[in-house]
Amino acid sequence: MDTFYVETQQRCQFVNITEAVRQSLSRSGLRQGIGVVYCPHTTAGLTINEAYDPDVAHDILLYLDQHVPRDLPGFRHIEKNSDAHIKASLFGSSVTLLVQEGDIVLGRWQGIFFCEFDGPRQRMLQIKWLEIGK
């Protein structure tokens, strides 16, 4: 298992981790198979989306900010970050990647993003690479 760290600077922020994931694949030596990037945090997530225009990440975060309220009558969680937990479940705690000829299979505009929903913090990500059996 490979591990790397991300430092976030804002409460909600997308961090492009594509290059870090590529370096991890390179270290593994895998040529054909799949990879799983895992987020062990409950107020953050992972997604694959457009990496070319940073306005896309901006607009996704703006939508989440307006549609997942920081407080709601009836919320009980004492840490007052239930919105971050909701966003984590909506986005998911892992992304699964295809590996072909030693590289991650990504569409032309795609990048892999760590999604911070309760920063700023130091966050850890874990990766496993699996060789294809057939």
- Looking at 6, 86, 114, 119, which residue binds a copy of itself (CB under 8 A)? 86
Nearer to a copy of itself, 7 or 77 (CB): 77
Instruction: Please report whether residue 23 would count as binding a copy of itself according to CB under 8 A.
Output: no
CB atoms within 10 A of CB 101: 7
Instruction: Please report whether residue 18 would count as binding a copy of itself according to CB under 8 A.
Output: no
Q: Are 126 and 32 in contact (CB under 8 A)?
A: no
Instruction: Please report whether residue 98 would count as binding a copy of itself according to CB under 8 A.
Output: yes
Instruction: Please report whether residue 16 would count as binding a copy of itself according to CB under 8 A.
Output: no
Cis peptide before 69 (omega within 30 of 0): no
Given phi > 0 = left and psi -120 to 50 = alpha, else beta, which region is 90?
A: alpha
Q: In Å, what is the CA distance from 42 to each residue of 39, 63, 84, 120?
A: 8, 20, 8, 14
Instruction: Please report whether residue 29 would count as binding a copy of itself according to CB under 8 A.
Output: yes
Site residues for a copy of itself per CB under 8 A: 1, 28-30, 32-34, 36, 38-42, 47-50, 53, 55-56, 58-60, 62-63, 66-69, 72, 74-79, 82, 85-86, 88-98, 100, 105-110, 126, 128-134
